[in-house]
Amino acid sequence: MIIFPAIDIKDNKCVRLIKGDFEQMTSYENSPLKQAKIYFQNGFKNIHIVDLNGALEGKSSNSNVIEEIFKKINLKIQIGGGIRTFDDVEHWIKKGADKVILGTAAVENTDLLKVICKKFENKIAVSLDVKDGFISLSGWKKNTNILAIDFLKKIENFGVSRIIYTDINKDGTKKGPNIKDTIDLSNKIKIPFVVSGGIASVEDIKKIKSLKNTNIEGVIIGKSIYDGDIKLKELAKQI
């Protein structure tokens, strides 16, 4: 199972949110580059980067900071946040992204998603932010009446390489992930799932790893690392 330490960036700083609420945002001392170096030095091979300005505004204001990580750190990076066009995807793949994450654009324009998946084979991930079964968009500011399962069935044969599934009710709470609903949903779809939201301890990760016959490919950990609840040396043993 892949462990993805997270770097969420807003205004060139590492931040974490609680349930996607920008009024409940914590900024951290380490720069995004320094945080990426720490992950690399602790033996992690993959990281998950989200441009929160991009997610909110539909365009990136943190590109230079993110590109610096690509240039200086030898990690497999999945990048998302404000990636809405073919050119956006192509830009990050040329920069060396392992996976490019589409969220709002994937849901609002499935024709574009199909084209991008065909052009950039095995490079496209889709981020689904879900609250009570329904998808939320634009940095969780826009709720929809689209059921996650209906959307997933629609795109199942497009060639999406992974689904990053975030339970908004759990994200940033450190109260444990919504494992049951995530597994129930992932087992209905052949696309691998990455669990995001609510990871509180290494025990949560061990529990997910121990599950049999699931479609879970990995897990994303953010706030629990930044707040010191999960020690990187201990987390690295789960790689």
Catalytic sites, residue numbers: 8, 129
Q: In 31-177, where do the E strands start and end? A: 46-51, 76-80, 99-102, 124-131, 134-137, 142-147, 162-167
Specify the 3-state DSSP secondary structure of 188. Answer: coil
* Cα–Cα distance measured from residue 198 to residue 190, given in angstroms and rounded to the nearest whole number: 24
Closest CA to 5 of 22, 30, 24: 30
Residue 101 near residue 125, CB atoms below 8 Å: yes
Q: Left (φ > 0), alpha (ψ -120 to 50) or beta: where does 42 sit?
A: alpha
Angle in degrees, CA 127, 131, 132, rounded to 5: 135
Closest CA to 204 of 185, 191, 223: 223
Non-local CB neighbours of 75 within 8 Å, separated by 6+ positions? 36, 39, 40, 44, 45, 46, 47, 69
For residue 203 the two structure tokens come to 């025990």
Closest CA to 54 of 46, 65, 45, 39: 65
